Amino acid sequence: MADISSVHRLINNYARKEAMLPRSMQELYEHVRDFTVLEDKGKVRGVCALHVLWEDLAEIRSLALSGTYRNIGIGKKLIQRCISEAKSIGVKRVFVLTYHPELFKKNGFDYIDKTELPQKIWGDCVRCPKFPGCDETALIRSL
């Protein structure tokens, strides 16, 4: 709980650059159990969330790393952590909506049409300011 303010700042720094959707403090508190947080020397340096949408479907979202923690393999480790967690709870498929599809392709994800994700479209996307003109790329991985 003590990390939520830092997680909020990190995610919304990306959102201001239109590299990620913003998250409100309320949303972060409501979904605190979705998040894995990377700390170094007591400071939040990275974050990633696994959000379960349906019996067999979860989303990796809000992958964000601060400055020098980017491009050194930490994003991959956070993705792998989410995949391991999904497997452990019996989720069969994990997807992502991203502006960086190459990172997820390197981690075993394949392109998918967003229309094949109705739980996401009608659960979250309809509330997004970019809906229906989403410019993120959808990818999915079977577990």
Radius of gyration of the chain (CA): 14
Q: Is 104 exposed, middle or buried (0-12, 13-18, 19+ CB in 10 A)?
A: buried
For 21-73, the pLDDT digits (tens) are 889 999 999 999 999 999 999 999 999 999 998 899 999 999 999 999 999 99
Sequence-ordered alpha helix ranges (H) in the chain: 4-16, 25-30, 74-88, 101-105, 118-123
Return the domain boundaries, the chain. Answer: 4-142
For residue 116, what pLDDT is reported? 86
Instruction: Tell if the pTM clears 0.85, that is, is over it.
Output: yes
Percent of the chain scoring above 90 in pLDDT: 75
For residue 18, what pLDDT is reported? 83
> Which is it for the CA torsion 82, 84, 89, 95, positive or negative?
positive
Region 111-134: mean pLDDT is 67
Region 95-124: mean pLDDT is 84
d(CA 28, CA 62): 10
Q: Residue 25, by phi and psi: left (phi above 0), alpha (psi -120 to 50) or beta?
A: alpha
For 116-127, the pLDDT digits (tens) are 886 565 455 555
Sheet containing strand 110-111, strands side by side: 35-40, 43-54, 57-65, 93-98, 137-142, 110-111
For 55, residues 6+ apart whose C-beta sits below 8 A from its C-beta are: none
User: Does 3 have pLDDT greater than 80?
Assistant: yes
Architecture field, domain 4-142: 3-Layer(aba) Sandwich (3.40)
Region 99-127: mean pLDDT is 80
For residue 129, what pLDDT is reported? 63
User: Does 99 have pLDDT greater than 70?
Assistant: yes
